[in-house]
Amino acid sequence: MPSAAEIQRYLTGAWRLMTGKPDGLLMLDISADGFWNSFFAIVVALPPLFVGWIGMANEITAEPAAGSRLSVLLRLAAIDLSAWVLPLAALALAAPLAGIGARFVHYVVASNWGSALIIWLMLPAALLRLISPSSSDLASLLSIGLFGLSMVLTWRLTNVVIGRGPAIGTAVFAGMFIASLAVLFLLQAALGIYIPG
């Protein structure tokens, strides 16, 4: 488990990558231990994730057929965590075939810490939805704006870490985004989670 100082350094490194600065990679641990330790970013992201799950569970359980709040909360957690990890597992298989195998560890480490930052970035919209359900339109608008910003930051991180030019960086970004959406939608359908419009 990384120390608090190490976590701060890794998050700073991920942020620098998101702002297009390649030296952010020097702040990350890309050793075998660093690879596995980067999944601790999930723990770092749990507080804002939990806020989002509670808000969504409150909306979903307004429908009687949705099940108990705890059941919905657990299913939301399973879906989001799977959408985080499973695309990375798929990339492990695809990276050598795509010619980016040498950058796989770099990408996973940077992506994990970057994902934690993105989830914290999305917290204001989740808090607004939780604290003031009547402001759902405003929360949705804020979510869309923050989502757009997160896409730009994630693309930058991917492009810098892959280091093979914008075309390949964009292809990896798009592939991971599509894989995450596929996992999200498939598991929502499989687990009976229907997000209110």
Q: Does 21 have pLDDT greater than 70?
A: yes
**Range with lowest mean pLDDT among 21-25, 107-111, 128-132, 169-173:** 128-132
Q: Provide the H-helix boundaries in 38-135.
A: 41-60, 69-98, 104-121, 123-131
Average pLDDT of every residue of the chain = 91
Residue type at position 33: D
Query: Quick check: 62 pLDDT over 80?
Result: no
Structure confidence by residue, pLDDT tens digits, 65-108: 667 888 899 999 999 999 999 999 999 999 998 889 999 999 99
**pLDDT at position 172, please?**
95
pLDDT computed for residue 30 by the predictor: 96
Predicted local confidence at residue 66, as pLDDT:
63
Q: How far is CA 141 from CA 16, 115, 135, 169, in A?
A: 27, 21, 10, 28
Lowest mean pLDDT among 3-17, 104-118, 135-149, 177-191: 135-149
Residue 122 has pLDDT above 80, yes or no: yes
> pLDDT value at position 139?
77
> What region, left, alpha or beta, does residue 21 occupy, with left being phi > 0 and alpha being psi -120 to 50 degrees?
beta
